[in-house]
Amino acid sequence: MTVSSILWPLAGGTLIGLSAGLLLLVTGKIAGISGILDGVVNLRAGHWSWRAAFLAGLLAGGALLWAVLPHALPTALERPLPTMIVAGLLVGAGSRLGSGCTSGHGVCGMGRLSARSMVSVAAFTLTAAVTVYFARHVFGGSF
């Protein structure tokens, strides 16, 4: 491990936590990206505009990254297109069924010391690790 391999993750995590905290302080809302996206794609009245503004901010931040920290964005994905489509479907449906994702449960829920979120994070991290194990070490990265 180098100094930068420790400092970048700490800086990134601190910014993520700060952003999610500011959203709570300013709007009283939880920064759960899956919930925010769900509200936008479902056109949920009364919640649409702030969620759309947050998503627009994510894209603007992405554009800024592209300009100042381009190696933070992927040049080519690890997995082929069909796998990414299946992955997207599972991430989308699973995040709604389980009421949250890496941000809502992982950052906000864990930060609130929510037992539900701790169970969720443990379950999805374990499942994801098992999935990677099978994909890479059993099936040899063939999908």
Partner 1 sequence: MGLIAVFLIGALFALGLGAGGMTLPGKILAFLDVAGAWDPSLVLVLGSAVVTYGIVYRLSLRRPRPLLAKSFVLPGQTGVDRRLVAGAVVFGIGWGLGGFCPGPAIVALVTAQPAVLAFVAAMAAGMLLHDRLAGMGRAPATRSGPVPASADG
> In the range 74-133, which residues lie near partner 1 by CB under 8 A?
74-81, 83-117, 119-121, 123-133
- The per-residue b/e assignment along 54-84, b for 16 or more CB within 10 angstroms, e otherwise, is bbeeeeeeeeeeeeeeeeeeeeeeeeeeeee
CB of 138 to partner 1, least distance (A): 10
CB of 67 to partner 1, least distance (A): 10
CB of 141 to partner 1, least distance (A): 10
Write out the binding residues for partner 1, residues 4-23 only, by CB under 8 A: 5-6, 8-23
CB of 46 to partner 1, least distance (A): 12
Write out the binding residues for partner 1, residues 44-73 only, by CB under 8 A: 49-50, 53-66, 69, 72-73
- Interface with partner 1 (CB under 8 A), residue from 3, 30, 139, 140: 30
